[in-house]
Amino acid sequence: MALEATNNQLKELALSLGKFGEDLACEYLVKKGYKIIERNFRRPWGELDIIAKAPDKTLVFVEVKTLRQSSGQAPEKQLSPEDQLTRSKLQKLKRTACLYAGHNAKLIKDNKGWQIDLIALTINEKGCDIKHYENIV
């Protein structure tokens, strides 16, 4: 028997999966020596999931993409979390990061600057696979 979910239920599920992924990404970054500065920076023109300082003091804007994989599909037919980062999303991300950096110049070391990273999380029945792509633009 199949059950239908309402749009609100699907939205809540996506939001909770996204928050779960961002929580895991923060844990991962802290273990790697990053300092979390801010989470979920939102403005009408865009959003930044995580803003952090890398161990080398570079300001890092981290986009987190989380995907729950079902076990019934062949791996080659499944989307990856990286597939969710579209060209338009990346452009919005760059613009938002640039505006944030411009308003928070004190966070940027002259010789380090800032960068955008992607953390892609794949959640399945075996656990969670984390991939960290640094300086993606």
Alpha-carbon span 120 to 80, nearest angstrom: 8
The single residue listed with the structure tokens 């080398």 is 56
Q: What is the pLDDT of residue 66?
A: 92
Residue 2 lies in a domain: no
Contact in structure between 71 and 24 (CB atoms under 8 Å): no
Q: What is the pLDDT of residue 3?
A: 45
Q: What is the mean pLDDT of the chain?
A: 86
Q: What is the pLDDT of residue 109?
A: 79
Alpha-carbon span 67 to 95, nearest angstrom: 25
Q: How many domains does the structure of the chain reveal?
A: 1
* Residue ranges of the chain whose pLDDT lies below 50: 1-3, 5, 9-10
CATH number at residue 108: 3.40.1350.10
pLDDT digits (tens, 9 = 90+) for 53-84: 999 999 999 999 999 887 665 555 678 888 88
Residue 112 lies in a domain: yes
Cα–chain-centroid distance for residue 134?
12
Q: What is the domain range of residue 86?
A: 8-133
Residue 1 lies in a domain: no
Q: What is the pLDDT of residue 1?
A: 38
